[in-house]
Amino acid sequence: MICEQCGRPGGEGTFCSNCGAPLAPRQPGAPGDAMTPPRPGGGALAPSFSFDLARLSSDDKIIGAATLVLFISLFLPWFGYAGQSVDGLWHGFEYLTLIVAVAIVAYLVLRAGFQRLPFGAGLPHELLLIAATGFNFILVLIGFLAKPSVTFLFLSASASWDFGAYISLIAAIVAAAAAVLPVVRARAAR
């Protein structure tokens, strides 16, 4: 069955295996319909929010969990030197990672809450997640490699990595890999 949300073959289940949208078309007023009743005086039906994780694919769930871990790890110690430490936001550009992580999680919550998104994303679901998680991975990798250094009386010492940097890097890799793997699997199946 072709998915109305992403336009790809959705598989055998009731939800699309690519984007998580429901495959079976529903009639307005049918049991389990996520549409609100018509407004007085007519008008279009407005979608209602009903959070259901079953609308997300397993890859979407992995991306969401890894992105949430990445968000939290930005506040953990990334670098340490002589008992002092700084978090991932010490690099000012990591605020972009923070914003994109919030956007990814919010997007996935909306996809789990609405049978059909009330707005157009502009890009196919897979491409949107690949772009966002890839952007976060690149910024985290740059932040991981750009360790701060300390200079005192012509002596220079580099800070060491702390556990937050490792957690961030692993979370960014997992999220990006989970976004890319469905596309790689789909191409390999052709």
CA distance 57 to 11: 12
Report yes or no: 87 and 153 within 8 Å, Cβ to Cβ: no
- Structural domain that includes position 135: 57-189
In this structure, is residue 144 part of a structural domain? yes
pLDDT level of residue 33 (50, 70, 90 thresholds): very low
In this structure, is residue 11 part of a structural domain? no
In this structure, is residue 28 part of a structural domain? no
pLDDT of residue 6: 67
Global confidence as pTM: 0.72
Name the domain count of the chain: 1
The DSSP symbol for 22 reads B
In this structure, is residue 159 part of a structural domain? yes
In this structure, is residue 77 part of a structural domain? yes
CA distance 30 to 61: 28
Q: Average pLDDT for residues 40-66, to the nearest whole number?
A: 82
pLDDT of residue 36: 46
In this structure, is residue 32 part of a structural domain? no
The DSSP symbol for 16 reads -
In this structure, is residue 25 part of a structural domain? no
Share of the chain above pLDDT 70, in %: 77
Closest listed residue to residue 179, CA positions, set 99, 74, 65: 65
Q: Which residue has the higher pLDDT, 36 or 158?
A: 158
In this structure, is residue 22 part of a structural domain? no
Number of residues in the chain: 190
pLDDT tens, 49-61?
889 999 999 999 9
